[in-house]
Structure 1
Amino acid sequence: MVEIVGQQSGADIVERLGKIKSRDAIEDVFRKYMDGEHYSRIASISNGDVRQKIANAIALCRPCSVFINRGTEADRQFIRELALKKSEEASLAMKNHTIHYDLAQEQGRIVDRTYYIVDEWEDVSSLAQRMNRETALKEVKTNLAGIMEDMTMIIGFYMRGPVGAPVSNPAIEITSSAYVAHSAEILYRNAYEDFDDEVKRAGHFFTNIHSEGLNRPEDLPDARVLMDRHYRTTYSFKCTYAGNTLLLKKGNHRFAVDKAVYEGNGKELAEHMFITGINGPSGRVTWCAGAAPSGCGKTTTAMAGSHFVGDDLAQMWIAKDGTIRSVNPECGIFGIVEDVNWEGDPMLMENLRKPGAEVIWSNVLVDDNGVPHWTGNGEELPESGINFQGRWHKGMKEESGKPVPVSHPNARCTIASSFLGNYSEEAENPKGVLTRIFTYSGRDSDTMPPLWVAKNSDQGVVLGACIVSAATATEVGATGVKRAPWANAPFIPGSLGDYMEAQFSFFGNPDIALEHKPVMAGLNYFLTHKARGGDSDKLLGEKKDVKVWLAWLERFAHGDVSYIETPIGYIPVYDDLKTLFSEIIYKQYPEALYEKQFSLYVDNIVKRLELQIDAYSKESGIPDKLFDVLKSQMDELLQLKDVKGAVVSPFDM
């Protein structure tokens, strides 16, 4: 529980509303709502705090029955069948594939209705919303009290990370949604047998309480995602999109961030990052973690590596041997499918188009034969079908005249990582993977080159702090270009200053061995022809080029390539890239393309630096290191401009 010295948080809302405190009262609730089978199952969970939390959730929501999910195949099958029976999912033509549709008005995270539950004295991130504890109590009481009266409550016990990993967090998922429970079984490790031991090891657990309500559009204004960081409990109601309901995911990621910042002592981080292993010469494997806002290529980059661990979240720590170690809290992917195709994502497509894997689709088009289709799949589209907004046909338009897309831009597939062709068994190693490379990227169409490396860890931290990205469909109502610090900003509960200080402390920690110092780099896949003198919005490169950028970073980490020093960091020399393009993806890489991609457009970069300085100047508690790095880079860029002009070719540096 996060506390500040001299301050005390208010009551635990679910305990106050459930009013279950004694051991006898807990047993009474369990006997009342569980049959003999499930009462015997809950008996295997002996931790008193866990049992009390569950009893209070039951007393609050008042389900007609309670199902304790042990993660067995029989239990998973019950959940699958319940999802179909409730019409939360429907079967598709391919075995073990189902479709789930969210409400048309809820196709992403409801950031405008997501709040931290706070006490009056408490500070939260300036990029987040706060709700007074008493107000939140009234919201929870009004909306969750008795909400499951005609439903089955499903309770699952999970680990966010491999069992036994020092940064893995135990979590309880309590929901009336079979779709949410089904998704949890694919994306997380059911740890029913180990839960007591893991709670004892970690000294805490997360709790998630969700009910979908009646799933009516008119209820969406009252939908809420509420997070109580003091009691590490989330509440969610009247919503259907997994980012708002599967609270094990981003809800618990927020708690993991809090824990790392305020209890990690500069040796732990919780990041919005993929984890992948990159093959190098002579059988060498170098592990990379990378941050990008949702919808900006994390899954594509993770799949570009040869050894897949994760595509979205990472927990990392500094081990006793001086290495940085990373684990994936998840064991599956909840991936955006727009533009997923055979050319760019062959291993994922293998599972989406051929039998074998269990897949939950969401918000794609399903044709009359029960086959899913989506925008950018590179295949011939059907004439008609059902998609996220109802019946669809080719040429269909909204009232405004705008075409209705085949699938929603945030349409997803949910699949276990173990089905992927490049899946690595290291994903379940509680010791984590030794991580040398950290990348930061966003949708930047006109400013930064495809690849640059920070000169030191302080510059690397600032690089992460200064991600700028075009808005994506993962957030309802988001538009334009905006700052996206570390691609983690929506999930930082405390102040940005505290989070940034934790980043400086971690990556600059003297306990990291010299030979394992992190390589911190920027990636940008979204540079356009128009930004470099052309007249097209087409990308200046291809999706598969990311394999080359990662290969160059792998070799840079081991001193195997040359580089050019610039004010923003180190960039590749042409000859190394030309060789890697030929060896890695069998592609010609013209010198003219290299010059377009890696020339510095000084005025554009300076404007971005000014944007960051101005924005962070309005924040309290931002470390001076950030401003020192940004101002130093700006001075160097302006000096370079005086000598070389506003556009500086890499051949002139």
Structure 2
Amino acid sequence: MLGQCNTNNPAVVMWVKEMAELCQPDRVYWCDGSLAEKEFLTEEAVKQGVLVKLNQEKLPGCYYHRSNPNDVARVEQCTYICTDTQDEAGPTNNWAPPKEMKEKLVSLARDSMRGRTMYVVPYLMGPPGSSLSKVGVELSDSIYVALNMRIMTRMGQVAYDHLGAREDFNRGLHCMLDVNPERRYICHFPRENLIISVGSAYGGNVLLGKKCLALRIGSYLGRQEGWMAEHMLILGVESPTGETTYVAAAFPSACGKTNFAMMIPPAHFKGWKIWTIGDDIAWMKPGADGRLYAINPEAGYFGVAPGTNYKSNPNAMRTIARDTIYTNVGLTPDLDVWWEGKDGESPAQCLDWQGKAWTPASKEKAAHPNSRFTAPMQNNPALSPAVDDPHWVPISAFIFGGRRATTMPLVFQAFDWIHGVFVGATVGSEMTAAAVGGVGQVRRDPMAMLPFCGYNMGDYFRHWLRMRKRLKYPPLIFHVNWFRKDAAGHFLWPGFGENMRVLKWIIDRCRGRANAHETPLGWVPSPADIDLGGLPEVSQEQLEKALTIDAEEWRRELLLQEELFVKLYAYLPKELIFQRELLMARL
């Protein structure tokens, strides 16, 4: 029978009982992840007005949700790492003493679910049978969370099967309260493997398996246990001869991460295929053969809708055409969805993400800039056959990147692992909205992990450096920049599927087949080393500009890096300080 207790694990049963006594829900519903349950919960969500059933002819199995206008994104200022000492959390995280913060959260959670249902969501992060897959149990009073977790994780009996009689599962409590920003806390207790989130209903704050467990708690556990939890996509590149090479890549937001993970090679690369393992998170560990192996712990995609279209990401458009939950996009009169940057003409009228009437003449956007789709990975036409392999896939390259109009060349390769860690640690991306601090201002986001590292960033860099000692064949490390512009403000590189040309050079470097020349930054290809066949709009001269290294711009770049280095100076490994001095000397 749906909703009944479905586990004999005493630790799970006891914890649910304790939290139910604290939160006082009217009912406790135990999720099992079945198709029957999905249909039941979806119908309930529609009855409650949490979901709107979309046009099933256009979007079969798809539904629509609006969040509270004050609750539309991750809230870094309300996100805490609760470790015994502030040094353990580090200067880039918000810290709170565990005892005091837990007392505050317990008082907020007490009786908070009266009149509501508590959903018990058991989930598995990672493929069944994998030695590194982790079990979580999230307790939430949001039916939206239960339905989204079913998409984003392997939810249900598979989690209990993996856990067995053990007690080492992540405990997650989510209470919506009244969705008041003044009472919004997303708190991580790494030593207890515990997450408590209150006062929010937005995905990134409440789908606790995602950023909270997979990255913040995951990175902490990885450091303790000798593996890595990274904010990285994983893709496989298959050549016409059947040779497959896997790479992992970390880009800050608005830098084309999901597009890269689902890329379709241009026609010139006939016979080449890109296989998606994951678009957001990678868990990696050294293998017995001395290589680094990776899995995607997730089972779905929680992607940004605006800008997604058949030019930027055709595979994403096919993925979200069915069985998808859309959040905070525009809603057309015929119950279709729309967002800025979607294919075709904008609708003559629709309801915007707040439910207000919208026309093309409206000043506000129809879709919130951070509006989302939640879609199962099985929908992806390019989903890798290795995605459920419990033995993981071997990583040959790491690729870091950011959005930079100047300074950064199209691609370069780090000299070695330690230099590569320095390259990743100094990743910067230009802000794209004046309201966020000024267009063109560079924000540092080391390894794209700054908001997601569950401990001190200095110790995080040290963990990267130590991992080298456990690898006989470490991945090569590269940096890319698809966004460089010329003096007139035009992009020098077309991006999207054409990025395959740069990726092909990277793969060939990993396989010992491609040329490069030494520069102060690292190894850089000559224009002749990048295959421009079938791309007449990019000349050799234009490519040369995209690959240029300007010493004066780089001297300014070193000054820009100063802010991060000063903030972390007391914790920085000496190797990174030496790398910066070596770069100064080379320039």
Q: TM-score, normalised by structure 2?
A: 0.92
Q: Which among 390, 394, 406 is matched to residue 430 of structure 1? A: 390
Q: Counterpart of 1:457 in structure 2: which amino acid?
A: W
Name the stretch that deviates more: 368-377 or 189-198: 189-198
**2:551 is equivalent to residue 551 of structure 1:** no
Deviations 1:231-271 (Å, cap 9, x if unpaired)?
1111112212100111111111211100111231xxx1000
Q: Counterpart of 2:494 in structure 1: which amino acid?
A: G
- Cα distance, 1:547–1:337 mapped onto 2, change above 3 Å: farther
Contact 2:28/2:120 (<8 A) preserved = yes
- Cα distance, 1:587–1:330 mapped onto 2, change above 3 Å: farther
Q: Unmatched 5+ residue regions in structure 1?
A: 1-35, 398-402, 638-653
Q: Unmatched 5+ residue regions in structure 2?
A: 264-272
Q: Counterpart of 1:277 in structure 2: which amino acid?
A: G
Residue 447 of structure 1: CA displacement?
Answer: 1.8
Matches within 5 A, 1:189-588: 189-195=154-160, 197-198=162-163, 204-215=168-179, 219-252=180-213, 253-264=215-226, 268-280=227-239, 282-304=241-263, 306-353=274-321, 357-396=322-361, 403-471=363-431, 480-506=441-467, 508-509=468-469, 511-513=470-472, 516-529=473-486, 533-534=487-488, 536=489, 538=491, 540-577=493-530, 580-582=531-533
Matches within 5 A, 1:50-65: 50-65=12-27
Q: Which among 163, 176, 180 is matched to residue 145 of structure 2? A: 180
**Separation in 2, partners of 1:294, 1:450:** 18
**Separation in 2, partners of 1:118, 1:435:** 32
- Which SS does the other structure have where 2:89 is aligned? coil
- Cα distance, 1:603–1:86 mapped onto 2, change above 3 Å: farther
**Separation in 1, partners of 2:355, 2:442:** 30
Alignment partner, residue 19 of structure 1: none
Runs of 4+ in 1 over 6 A off after TM superposition: 476-479
- Greater per-residue helix proportion: 1
- Cα distance, 1:131–1:519 mapped onto 2, change above 3 Å: same
Q: Which among 533, 540, 555 is matched to residue 591 of structure 1? A: 540
Deviations 1:182-232 (Å, cap 9, x if unpaired)?
11111111252452543667x7221111122344xxx22222211111211
Q: Which among 106, 127, 146 is matched to residue 141 of structure 1? A: 106
Residue 336 of structure 1: CA displacement?
Answer: 1.1
Alignment partner, residue 267 of structure 2: none
Q: Which among 153, 159, 162 is matched to residue 118 of structure 2? A: 153
**Separation in 2, partners of 1:298, 1:210:** 28
Matches within 5 A, 1:106-117: 106-117=71-82
Q: Counterpart of 2:540 in structure 1: which amino acid?
A: E
Query: Percent of pairs identical after alignment?
Result: 25
Residue 607 of structure 1: CA displacement?
Answer: 2.1
Contact 1:164/1:198 (<8 A) preserved = no
- Cα distance, 1:478–1:367 mapped onto 2, change above 3 Å: farther
Residue 281 of structure 1: CA displacement?
Answer: 5.0
Alignment partner, residue 9 of structure 1: none
Name the stretch that deviates more: 53-62 or 383-392: 383-392
Contact 2:87/2:456 (<8 A) preserved = no
**Separation in 2, partners of 1:394, 1:127:** 42
Contact 2:320/2:379 (<8 A) preserved = no
Deviations 1:332-369 (Å, cap 9, x if unpaired)?
1101122111122112222334xxx2011111111111
**2:15 is equivalent to residue 68 of structure 1:** no
Q: Counterpart of 1:350 in structure 2: which amino acid?
A: R
**Separation in 1, partners of 2:183, 2:159:** 37
**Separation in 2, partners of 1:237, 1:603:** 48
Contact 2:86/2:96 (<8 A) preserved = no
Contact 1:84/1:91 (<8 A) preserved = yes
Alignment partner, residue 8 of structure 2: 45
**2:584 is equivalent to residue 634 of structure 1:** yes
**Separation in 1, partners of 2:452, 2:350:** 36
Residue 538 of structure 1: CA displacement?
Answer: 4.8
Deviations 1:26-77 (Å, cap 9, x if unpaired)?
xxxxxxxxxx8755x34x332x333322222211111111111111111222
Alignment partner, residue 556 of structure 2: 607
Contact 1:291/1:439 (<8 A) preserved = yes
Q: Counterpart of 1:517 in structure 2: which amino acid?
A: P
**Separation in 2, partners of 1:75, 1:395:** 40
Q: Counterpart of 1:274 in structure 2: which amino acid?
A: L
**Separation in 2, partners of 1:550, 1:200:** 45
Q: Counterpart of 1:60 in structure 2: which amino acid?
A: L
